[in-house]
Each structure stands twice: as C-alpha cells, then as structure tokens.
C-alpha cells in the first residue's frame, strides 16, 4: 500500500507516477529520512516497474542542474521546491493536493532551468579517474559531497548515474566518507568484491596478499563470489559490518572476520603514520613502498610470511628496515639509493 493517496480523474497513469516520483524525491530531501520513510519509499518502488523508471528520470533532471547549481535562478528554484514540499507534507501520508503541489514545484525547478536530462546522461559517459603518485595523499570531493581520501599510489574510477554512485578501487587504499542518499546507493568495487553503503565511513585497502574492509561508522554490506578469480571460501557470500569490525579476504579466497579493531590504527595513514598489527611482511612492505622512492623487495620467500607489528612514519624506509634487521632474522642488502633487498639471515 503506497504512502500516497490515489485518486481518480483524467490524469494518465504516467502523469500520476511522475507526480508520485517527484513527491518522493522531494520528501527524501525535505525531512529526516528515517527507517520508516525509507521502507515506505522502497515499497512504492516495488509496486510497479514504472515507479523506478520515473524516479530515475526525476533524479537525472535534478542532478542535471549541478553544472548550474551556483546560479541564483537554480538556487531559488531548488529552495522553493523544497519549501513547498515541506508545506505540502502532512505526517507520512500526502494528500492528492499535496502530491500535485510537490510535483509541480519539482517539475518547475527542473523545466524552467531549461536543462534536459539527456545532457546529464551524456555527461556520465566519460568516467572520471583519480590517482595519486608515490608518497602523495589526496582528498576528492565527489558531486554528491561524499569525500574520498586517497593513499599514495592509489587509483579509482568514479561512475555516477541517476540511480547509483559507483567507485572502482583499482589500486591502493582509500577512505570513504559517504553522503547520505537512501534512493541512490553508494558502492565500491575492489577485486571482485562490492561494498554497499548509505551514509557511512569506511576504509578499503588492497594489500599485496589480501583485501580488507574496515567500517568506522554506519553500516556496510560486503558481497562477492570471487576474489582475484579465486572462489571465496565459506557459506556466506554477504557480510554486514558494524563500526569497529574488519573483513579480510585473503588471496586464496579465505575469510577473516575481526570483531573489534583499533580504528585509529587502521586510518593512521591519513595522518602520515603506518601502524602494523601482525601484518604479513609482504603486505607491510607493499604499504611502505607506496610512500618512498626506495623500494624494498623480498628476495627470500622464507620471510614473506613473517608477522610484523610497529609504528612507522610513512616514507621512513630506513627505520622500517632497521627494525626488521633488529627484531627478525632478516638481512638487508642496500643495492643503491633506490633499492633494498631482503633475505633470511639464517634458514628458517
């Protein structure tokens, strides 16, 4: 049963659906979108296949204004639309009059701006790509005001459409601070895994031997059947995380679920610190190498699986290698200023 009252009359089915879609669009932006509102919205979407199509059209038109968002005309139109939506709303049930008024406000804001939806759709064909260089950190503000912090040597592709916000993490590590929009899911794809979120903050790290997802706040769901071409082990294919939890998917497809991790340690890279807590040496080295022109290489497979813990400044390769030599049976050979090779000091 829809949250909107139905009425007879001379309106076509398409007109009524577009009015409802416009009203829902404004409702989700003119009030706190609590669980009841979101559930009602998704129930409306599920009632008819035309509902989602209509909603996406309204979303596309509205988003198409973004290139002109700073102009006084567009600002005034948007503010008027949202104000009328608030006035038209009565509890969780909108009257036919209120529905028409909200829809009219939305359509006026969109049509008077003179920007057809096709321009928005065409703008999505060129997928923006962002990357950082060796030792570089960067914060990207996305069109919906979500923020992505990129670690050194990190690459992402961004694809925003009217119905979905999608980021592909191709390399490195990123922290996502997602702007809330229940009607437009935010997903991150990394090595065949999908991280689905609403308004939340989480960290994704593509390490040398594994992929890790750590939730800082909100909720996310991690799903996927393969990791780097290897089938995931375990019965569950979707994992829901709560704040402080970490999901680790190893290269062989096995799953580690850590119930409570130190979030400050996980995100310390954003302050120029690398904190390792039992990481495999190969993974720790991969992270150190993102920040230094001196590349560390493992030349003896015996030491790849050593467990490393410690706090280091990003880029301080000398201190990291010195610690390895001091606390482990590791021998370092410095070939030149840009290369250090690691061997086992003794047979392990």
Domains in the chain, ordered, with CATH? 13-122 (no CATH), 130-265 (2.60.120.1440), 272-344 (3.55.50.30)
d(CA 177, CA 197): 10
Whether pLDDT at 108 is above 50: no
d(CA 178, CA 181): 9
As a whole number, the mean pLDDT across the chain is 77
Burial degree of 234 (CB within 10 A; 0-12, 13-18, 19+): exposed
How far is residue 277 from each of residues 225, 265, 266, 271, 280, measured CA to CA in Å? Answer: 28, 9, 9, 17, 9
For 101, the token pair is 């008024």
Answer yes or no: are the C-beta atoms of 315 and 296 closer than 8 Å: no
Average pLDDT estimate for 195-203: 88
Average pLDDT estimate for 292-296: 93
d(CA 218, CA 229): 30
Angle between helices 317-327 and 281-289 (to 10 degrees): 160
SS3 label, residue 263? helix
How far is residue 279 from each of residues 99, 210, 225, 298, measured CA to CA in Å? Answer: 56, 10, 25, 15
Closest residue by Cα to residue 146 from 183, 117, 189, 175? 175
Closest residue by Cα to residue 24 from 94, 126, 125? 94
d(CA 4, CA 105): 17
- 2 pLDDT tier (thresholds 50, 70, 90): very low
- 339 pLDDT tier (thresholds 50, 70, 90): very high
d(CA 235, CA 225): 10
Whether pLDDT at 88 is above 60: no
Tens of pLDDT, residue by residue over 201-219, are 999 999 888 899 999 999 8
Tens of pLDDT, residue by residue over 234-274, are 555 788 899 999 999 988 888 889 989 999 999 999 999 99
pTM, two decimal places? 0.63
Closest residue by Cα to residue 137 from 147, 146, 149, 155? 149
Q: Which residues pair with 257 in a beta bridge?
A: 247
Tens of pLDDT, residue by residue over 141-157, are 888 889 999 999 999 99
């Amino acid at each position: 049963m829809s949250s909107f009252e139905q009425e007879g009359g001379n309106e076509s089915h398409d007109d009524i659906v577009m009015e409802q879609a416009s009203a829902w669009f404004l409702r989700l932006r003119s009030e706190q979108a609590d669980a009841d509102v979101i559930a009602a919205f998704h129930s409306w979407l599920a009632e008819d296949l035309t509902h989602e199509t209509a909603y996406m059209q309204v979303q596309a038109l509205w988003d198409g204004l973004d290139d002109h968002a700073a102009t006084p005309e567009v600002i005034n139109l948007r503010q008027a639309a949202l104000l009328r939506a608030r006035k038209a709303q009565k509890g969780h049930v909108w009257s036919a009059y209120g529905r028409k008024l909200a829809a009219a406000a939305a359509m006026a804001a969109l049509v008077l701006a003179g920007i057809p939806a096709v321009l928005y759709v065409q703008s999505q064909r060129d997928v923006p790509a962002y990357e950082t260089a060796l030792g570089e950190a960067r914060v990207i503000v996305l069109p919906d005001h979500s923020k992505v912090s990129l670690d050194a040597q990190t690459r992402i592709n961004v694809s925003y459409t009217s119905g979905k916000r999608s980021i592909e993490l191709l390399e490195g590590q990123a922290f996502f601070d997602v702007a809330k929009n229940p009607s437009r899911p935010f997903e991150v794809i990394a090595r065949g895994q999908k991280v689905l979120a609403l308004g939340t903050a989480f960290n994704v790290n593509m390490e040398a031997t594994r992929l890790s997802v750590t939730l800082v706040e909100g909720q996310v769901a991690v799903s996927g059947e393969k990791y780097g071409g290897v089938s995931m082990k375990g019965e569950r294919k979707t994992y829901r995380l709560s704040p402080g939890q970490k999901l680790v998917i190893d290269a062989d497809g096995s799953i580690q679920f850590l119930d409570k991790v130190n979030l400050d340690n996980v995100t310390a890279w954003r302050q120029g610190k690398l904190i390792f807590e039992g990481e495999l040496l190969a993974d720790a080295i991969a992270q150190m190498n993102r920040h230094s022109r001196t590349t560390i290489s493992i030349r003896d497979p015996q030491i790849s699986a050593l467990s490393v813990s410690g706090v280091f400044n990003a880029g301080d390769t000398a201190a990291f290698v010195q610690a390895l030599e001091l606390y482990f049976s590791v021998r370092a050979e410095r070939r030149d200023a840009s290369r250090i090779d690691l061997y086992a000091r003794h047979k392990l």
